[in-house]
Amino acid sequence: MTRDSDPALPLSGRVGLARLAAEAIAHTDGVTATSGPAGRWRTVGSQQTIPGVLAVEDARGRVDIELHLAVRWPPQTPLEQLGEQLRGRLRRSAGMAGVDERLGAVSVCFDDVLSEAQSA
């Protein structure tokens, strides 16, 4: 078993940051992750796929994160504020996990909308 596939092991690497991003999405009301057309917006690690999070590591070991989301419409919070909440949650989680120096840019993309009937 690898450290990226077992949440009890220390957090490190691209997949670990993607997992933190998925947790930030899960704790944010009004949004859900979307993997997009043909499932291209996802991070794949050993024995794990994280939909809606695209994590790319550069040559220096920094990991840029793209969050791809569907938002409940009409949103209860302005989209810009939702994006800032998600970025803040991810940065705080990375700091608590001791990997904040690895976290690069965090982009938030609202790719789809869900009506209240669809999100119920």
The C-alpha atoms of residue 112 and residue 120 are separated, in whole angstroms, by: 16
Closest CA to 65 of 40, 42, 81: 42
pLDDT digits (tens, 9 = 90+) for 55-90: 999 999 999 999 999 999 999 999 999 999 999 999
The C-alpha atoms of residue 94 and residue 36 are separated, in whole angstroms, by: 25
Enumerate the domain spans of the chain.
13-119
**Do 25 and 52 touch, CB atoms closer than 8 A?**
yes
pLDDT digits (tens, 9 = 90+) for 23-36: 999 999 999 999 99
Write down the pTM of the prediction.
Answer: 0.86
For the domain made up of 13-119, the CATH class stated in words is alpha beta
Tokens representing 44 are: 């794949």
11: three-class secondary structure by DSSP: coil
Say yes or no to pLDDT of 116 above 80: no
Report pLDDT for 119.
58
The C-alpha atoms of residue 26 and residue 44 are separated, in whole angstroms, by: 18
